[in-house]
Structure formats: structure tokens, C-alpha cells
Amino acid sequence: MTERLRIEFFPSDVDRSVAFYELLGFEVTGRSVGPPAYASVKLGDVRIGLCEAAPVDPAARTLPVGTEIVIEVDDVKQRRDEFVGRVVVLAADLVEREWGLSDFRVTDPDGYYLRFTSHR
């Protein structure tokens, strides 16, 4: 049996999140209008489900903390350059880590933190 991991996010606006993930190169693989609205996106073997969150007072909503989604890519510099060319705002620019990885970070519209990384 092959195990796979799919992450589920609960964005405040599924359409806005889909547009963001498409900007990152994800492909929409499923969609339903709901309620709740739902979309699934994938990039290679990385799969993310986007399920419309129940309405929340924006003042009461806190950003996700203590979690980072790490996506390993073959060439992190190339991926970073592609994102910058598509006008993706980087939360943290490309850094070479002393333990042999290079990475950069982006934050999705609801504050989910994504780190793109590769071995040097």
C-alpha cells in the first residue's frame, strides 16, 4: 500500500485561495460549490484540500501558528524566480541553510505558511 499525505485548509474564501495556489503552479483537480465550497489542488504529489470555513468574526480569527507546510522541489532557486516573475510576494526570500538546504517562504491569503526547499 502506498501512503500519501493530503493537507486540508479551511480558507475564508475558496475562490481566492484557488487563485493563489494556481499562481504557485498548482492544478485544480476537483471542485464543488457546496455548501461548503470545496476545491482540491495538486502540485506533483503534493495535494491540498480547500474547504470553505464557517463564517468567523475577522477580529476573532487568528492566523495559523506553529505549523509550516514544507514542499520539496528539485530546484528551489528556479521555483523562487518563477514565483517572483508571477508577482508572488515572498514572506522570506531564498536562504542557504548551514545544514545543506536552501529555502524560501510564502504565506497564502489566510496566513498558512508554505516553505519551498531543496538540497544544495
* Same domain membership, residue 73 and residue 28: no
Distance CA 35, CA 22 (A): 22
Distance CA 29, CA 26 (A): 9
pLDDT score recorded for residue 63: 65
pLDDT tens figures, 70-86: 999 999 999 999 999 99
* Same domain membership, residue 46 and residue 73: no
* Same domain membership, residue 43 and residue 89: no
* Same domain membership, residue 50 and residue 3: yes
* Same domain membership, residue 40 and residue 88: no
* Same domain membership, residue 48 and residue 67: no
Domains: count for the chain: 2
* Same domain membership, residue 38 and residue 76: no
Burial class (CB in 10 A: 0-12, 13-18, 19+), 13: middle
Q: Which domain holds residue 67?
A: 62-120
pLDDT tens figures, 84-108: 999 999 999 999 999 999 999 999 9
Residue 59 has pLDDT above 90, yes or no: no
Nearest residue to 24 via CA among 48, 7, 52: 48
